Amino acid sequence: MHKKIICCLLFIISIFACVSAYAAEVTDVRWGLDRFNVLRLVVDLDSPPGYNISFQGQTMLVTVNAKLDEKVTRSFKMRSTLAPTMTVEESGGNTVLKLPLARTIGTQDYNAFTLKNDPVTKRPNRLVVDITADKTATPSVVIPKADNSAEKAKAPVTVPKTSTAKTTVPKTTTPKTTAKVTVPKKTAVKTEEKKTAKSSFKTDGGLKGKKITLDAGHGGSDPGAIGSNGTREKDVTLKITKKVQELLKKKGAKVSMTRTGDTDVYGPNASDSQELQARVDVAEDNDADAFISIHINSSTNKSVGGFSSYYYPKTNNDARLAQAVQDRLVKNFGLDDLGIRKANFYVNKRCSMPSTLLELAFISNPKEEKLMNSNWYINKLAKSIADGIEDYFK
């Protein structure tokens, strides 16, 4: 009898030993601050993480259910006025990131999500925490050097016309006045030398025969903004873009796509500027007459919603293109008209032909997120965009 008990105990001990041996481990911690003052924390792990975010007074605690690799940096000085320092320590088998804050923030002031490892891009499992409490409506800070930068930030971006909303676009994506907005990969990036335009573009004479490049925002390792029900921006933009492609072809246009699946456009281990430039290159390589980048907006204010179209005035036709599409969107839906807006987005600024970046409602708004999961909405949205592009060429 005693032998059986001893054997059972040894068996149980061996199980715990195996579990301990294969416990998740934090392999790296880094941070980044985009030009809109959004602080991003990224935790790399060797297996999918469990985590919890809590507060002790004004100290934010990000607890990850994983042990801490001894090679991980334990203390950070950050260029954030909200959280100038961060310490990393192991406690009870967990890894804890401690951020003393300059002031108290609420759950609406941060967003956390996990990313699975990607064998293609060789990126590990990650926990990403975006702290948007101090997000600004216009660029206000210098991006940290590469060795301190975090994952590609989603360039959130939209500022509603109302004075009470601070948009974070990006959920984007995202800059605003009083509401926080997440900005997708769209803006917070370093620029590279612009390539020489390969050909002139056409702006009238009808849509038939015109060359259009469609860009489905985000994709691959970058999910973009994520709604409260798990809807991912990259999935919605791809659905819309494919439908627009189909409609434009029926109207006689020649359409090129930056991506047709859930992939990064540049490829593995790309920097933000490399990924965005790869999208611009598709338009340049196809001598496009117009470039349309499709995104979904996001804000920490869940009541903010509506459409907006962005442009950079590098030609006399960029604003006209944005307005043509915006008019169709507003005409066919009962959502708020946030208007056309001038913005320094990489893809708009760097492509040689007229272009617009569309923010098609807010994934952070529960009602609008629900619409994004309905086929009739996707189809009607795509038709509005295609009709707007056709109007532009008349």
Residue 350 sits in the same domain as residue 222: yes
Q: Tell me whether residue 159 is in a domain.
A: no
Residue that is last in its domain, among 101, 131, 161: 131
Residue 126 sits in the same domain as residue 243: no
Predicted confidence at residue 195, as pLDDT, reads 47
Residue 115 sits in the same domain as residue 237: no
- How far is the C-alpha of 385 from the C-alpha of 321, rounded, in Å? 11
Predicted confidence at residue 217, as pLDDT, reads 95
Predicted confidence at residue 141, as pLDDT, reads 45
Tokens 């203390």 -> residue: 75
- How far is the C-alpha of 9 from the C-alpha of 206, rounded, in Å? 80
Report mean pLDDT in 10-residue bins for the chain, 394 residues: 57 48 81 83 89 93 94 90 93 94 89 78 84 72 39 39 38 39 42 49 95 96 91 96 97 97 87 90 95 94 92 95 96 92 92 96 94 96 97 96
- How far is the C-alpha of 361 from the C-alpha of 380, rounded, in Å? 13
Cα angle: 296, vertex 306, 376; to 5 degrees: 70
Q: Which domain holds residue 353?
A: 211-392
Q: Tell me whether residue 352 is in a domain.
A: yes
3-state secondary structure the chain: CHHHHHHHHHHHHHHHHHHHHCCCEEEEEEEEECCCCCEEEEEEECCCCCEEEEEECCEEEEEECCEECCCCCCEEECCCCCCCEEEEEEECCEEEEEEECCCCCCHHHEEEEEECCECCCCECEEEEEEECCCCCCCCCCCCCCHHHCCCCCCCCCCCCCCCCCECECCCCCCCECCCCECCCCCCCCCCCCCCCCCCCCCCCCCCCCCEEEEEECCECCECCCECCCCCEHHHHHHHHHHHHHHHHHHCCCEEEECCCCCCCCCCCCCCHHHHHHHHHHHHHHCCCCEEEEEEEECCCCCCCCCEEEEECCCCCCHHHHHHHHHHHHHHHCCCCEEEEEECCCHHHHHCCCCEEEEEEEECCCHHHHHHHCCHHHHHHHHHHHHHHHHHHCC
pLDDT tens, position by position, 88-106: 999 999 999 999 999 999 8
Residue 90 sits in the same domain as residue 228: no
Q: Tell me whether residue 293 is in a domain.
A: yes
Residue 381 sits in the same domain as residue 235: yes
- How far is the C-alpha of 46 from the C-alpha of 363, rounded, in Å? 30
Residue that is last in its domain, among 77, 107, 131: 131
Q: Tell me whether residue 278 is in a domain.
A: yes
User: How buried is 262 (Cβ within 10 angstroms: 0-12 exposed, 13-18 middle, 19+ buried)?
Assistant: middle
Q: Tell me whether residue 3 is in a domain.
A: no
Predicted confidence at residue 123, as pLDDT, reads 79
Q: Tell me whether residue 100 is in a domain.
A: yes
Q: Tell me whether residue 361 is in a domain.
A: yes
Q: What CATH number is attached to the domain comprising 315?
A: 3.40.630.40
Residue 242 sits in the same domain as residue 366: yes
Closest by alpha carbon to 98, among 50, 43, 42, 60?
60
How many structural domains comprise the chain? 2
Cα torsion angle, 229, 234, 236, 239, sign:
negative
Cα angle: 135, vertex 138, 139; to 5 degrees: 85
Residue that is last in its domain, among 131, 164, 184: 131
Q: What CATH number is attached to the domain comprising 42?
A: 2.60.40.3470
Q: Tell me whether residue 69 is in a domain.
A: yes
pLDDT tens, position by position, 359-368: 999 999 999 9
Residue 88 sits in the same domain as residue 226: no
Tokens 């956390």 -> residue: 112
